Amino acid sequence: MTDTLLGLDEPAQPPRSGGEAYRVLARKYRPQTFQALIGQEAMVRTLENAIKRDRIAHAFLLTGVRGVGKTSTARLIAKALNCIGPDGTGGPTIDPCGQCEPCRAIAEGRHIDVIEMDAASHTGIDDIREIIEASRYAAVSARYKVYIIDEVHMLSKAAFNGLLKTLEEPPGHVKFLFATTEVNKVPVTVLSRCQRFDLRRIPAEKLAEHFALVSDKEGVTAEPEALALIARAAEGSARDGLSILDQAIAHADLEGSGVTAAAVRDMLGLSDRSAVRDLLGLLLAGDAPGALAALRRQYDFGVDPQGVLRALLEAVHGVTLSKVGTAEDPAQPAEEREAYREWATQLSFPLLHRLWQLLLKGHDEVARAAMPIETAEMALLRVVHARSMPDPAELVRQMPAGTGSTPSVTNQPPAATPPPPAPARAILPESFAELVERMEEGGHHLLAVRLAHGARVVSYQPPEIVFSGARPIAADTLAETTAALRGLTDTAWKLTLLDAPGEPTLKEAQDAAAEAERQAVLASPLVKAALEAFPEAELIDWPKKRNVS
């Protein structure tokens, strides 16, 4: 990579008495060309097409997480718009020369027509009013007057409102470049007036490659695994990763060696990945004492308990991805990929999902706990205990046959023998429940529902029925029931009321039977064990089935 690609993008600093002032890597290796931006190819292609077609927007909004290149991109756009080429005759270009006076002045932060403002410290309407007034005047020496406002979401409501009119109809010689990490805080009225670019998180493999180039440029040897660890810790931010690399190089210099993976782990307090795999193996084997001892060893080495659970979550996620068949991460060590493949063939998807949920719950508990290491131990014990439990679907399959069926609800004791075939119309129903069912089959649906939910039977001796007067039945219901039964059975029925409590309604009896069945299921050893393993689980109703004789 050339010096131009990895060049300085800051004002020159006076040398110290002992030589040139040290520049941290995050500033020293700031990108000087669009090609040097890592992982932002889509944005660069859009800008290139816009410049070639002379369709340059008057305002750009750059958003993304920290360290992905928002401010660097804004400066590059300023250079691209104002570059005049080495011979002074060039126009706007996606490849600024970096040699002409505008390019050098913008790179050093001293160009009079490129104004950078930090909205975090200039939030008020007065600051914006100064920009509005100055934007009326043409650029002094550049092609465009460019305003770069960093962390624009920090502007006050009044400042945003004051900017709207100028932002919508700016003078032709003015360009606005906004950068923010919290685009959701920018008013929609501002967003609608800007061309928005969402800068993506930089993939870990690209960061590792970039860090390797920087290490080589600095004359420092670095293990690929160490650079991969730094790239993961950076979480998509080139600036964060270079800061960590800077620290790792300083650490290596003290030891007189290169940047090693072990040193990076110690420096960041990361859990050793082989130790994590060993711990996961102990959990899957159900070795509770061994798992607790392994956790304590990492804790004694200074690894945060929450970090151990996070590493276990990453491992379970990696095994799941391997089982799904996704492409392997080239940044992973070979032994780790091999372990994931082996576990993927041994573990089922339900078990992997269960492990994920248990570890995620433990991770959240440790984050809030007053006793983190003890909470982590309890979380691992829960995993060990749950590992030996069968899948919930397997629990249902192991239940005794007929447990999930709903018994018939009648007001008479169940018959010792199976019920006879469906009776003819002339044969009277043997029970009130059978009578209601006969009415349902005969087309009297609403009437059958009213009887099942509201009628309490004191005596059933067909063709006479005595209902409880304690729960009155409407006179029209009795009359309709009498007429319906006469039509269904060719028999005159006598329905009366008596001031007596009577039996529960059919609906009440059915609900009581269902609750008794539910309690019986909860009392079964398999379900009790499942609820102990999953304290937040609950028994839900399954589809009711009728007994088939």
Alpha-carbon gap, residue 414 to 260, rounded angstroms: 78
- Decide: 100 and 87 in contact? Cβ < 8 Å: no
If DSSP codes are grouped into helix, strand and coil, which group holds residue 496?
Answer: strand
Q: Is the pLDDT of residue 375 over 90?
A: yes
Q: How far is CA 214 from CA 204, 210, 230, 236, 312, in A?
A: 15, 6, 13, 17, 31
Alpha-carbon gap, residue 329 to 310, rounded angstroms: 18
What tokens were used for 538? Answer: 């609950």
- Among 224, 273, 266, CA closest to 248: 266
What tokens were used for 383? Answer: 């995993």
Q: Is the pLDDT of residue 291 over 70?
A: yes
Which CATH fold topology does 31-198 show? Rossmann fold (3.40.50)
If DSSP codes are grouped into helix, strand and coil, which group holds residue 457?
Answer: strand
pLDDT of residue 313: 92
Alpha-carbon gap, residue 238 to 26, rounded angstroms: 8
pLDDT of residue 35: 83
- Decide: 180 and 208 in contact? Cβ < 8 Å: no
Task: Please tell me the CATH code under which domain 273-388 is placed.
Answer: 1.20.272.10
Angle, vertex CA 18, rays to CA 12 and CA 22, nearest 5 = 45
Q: What is the per-residue pLDDT across 62-73, written as a single tens digit (0 to 9) for each?
A: 998 888 888 888
List the helix and strand counts (H, then E) for the chain: 23, 8
Residue 311: DSSP 8-state: H
| Per-residue confidence band for 180, with pLDDT thresholds at 50, 70 and 90 | very high
Q: What is the per-residue pLDDT across 464-512, written as a single tens digit (0 to 9) for each?
A: 988 887 766 777 788 888 888 888 888 888 888 888 888 888 888 888 8
Find which of 230-234, 373-377, 441-445 is predicted with most confidence, using mean pLDDT: 373-377
Average pLDDT over residues 293-310: 87
pTM check: above 0.75: no
pLDDT of residue 54: 85
CATH class as words, domain 204-268: mainly alpha
- Token pair 């006050």 is found at 156
Q: What are the residue boundaries of the structural domains of the chain, listed by start?
A: 31-198, 204-268, 273-388, 427-549
If DSSP codes are grouped into helix, strand and coil, which group holds residue 275?
Answer: helix
What tokens were used for 240? Answer: 């964060």
Q: Which of 9-18, 31-40, 255-264, 535-544 shows the lowest per-residue confidence on average (mean pLDDT)?
A: 9-18
| β strands within 399-476, DSSP E | 457-461, 464-468
- Among 98, 68, 67, 64, CA closest to 83: 98
Average pLDDT over residues 172-185: 90
Average pLDDT over residues 319-347: 82
Task: Pick the more confident residue, 391 or 13.
Answer: 391
pLDDT of residue 108: 85
pLDDT of residue 149: 92
Percent of the chain whose predicted confidence (pLDDT) is above 90: 13
Alpha-carbon gap, residue 214 to 118, rounded angstroms: 29
What tokens were used for 90? Answer: 């060039």
- Decide: 113 and 101 in contact? Cβ < 8 Å: no
Percent of the chain whose predicted confidence (pLDDT) is above 70: 85
If DSSP codes are grouped into helix, strand and coil, which group holds residue 265?
Answer: helix
- Decide: 454 and 503 in contact? Cβ < 8 Å: no
If DSSP codes are grouped into helix, strand and coil, which group holds residue 406?
Answer: strand
